[in-house]
Amino acid sequence: MLSTSPPAENFSLTTKVGRLVEARVFALRSRKDVEDYGNAFGTHLMKLPQGMRAILCADHRPVSIYAQEVADRLLEMFKPLNAHLERVAILAAPSNATFAMQLDRIVRAAGYAARKVVYATDDAVQHLAPVLTPQELKRARAFLDEYS
């Protein structure tokens, strides 16, 4: 199991099975928070076997909205990560329409068709399932069920 030790109040990153990276974002309030997230993510990816493209399941349901500087920095971070991620599901709370639109805009601008914003855990699993092993699929479901 790979784990990165970020500030617990902002986000968590772990890989418990295969190449499934589990990210839960609670809050990114500043560019520095995004830098911390990006650095932790980069360090985490370097721990995976060389040449392995990760699959990211990112749960952003706890977030209410990102400041514009945070959204801009996330977009800058997403673009170079495209080459290191085979597929990405970003889960947003369906009750937070403003944040959902913000994430949709960031994802569209990042220009990677395999990265998708979803609003239900089943949709996240469905998006990731074609590239997950049975063990990774089971873990993705468990991860998403941990925070309901």
pLDDT class for 5, splitting at 50, 70, 90?
Answer: very low
Q: What is the mean pLDDT of residues 78-107?
A: 93
Domains and CATH numbers, the chain: 2-146 (3.30.750.24)
Q: What does pLDDT average to over the chain? A: 91
Count of other CB atoms within 10 angstroms of residue 60: 21
The angle at the Cα of 123, spanning 119 to 128, to the nearest 5 degrees, equals: 125
Q: Could you tell me which residues come within 8 angstroms of residue 77 by beta carbon, excluding any fewer than 6 positions away?
A: 34, 37, 38, 41
Count of other CB atoms within 10 angstroms of residue 145: 9
pLDDT class for 143, splitting at 50, 70, 90?
Answer: very high
pTM value > 0.95: no
pLDDT at 27: 93
pLDDT at 48: 84
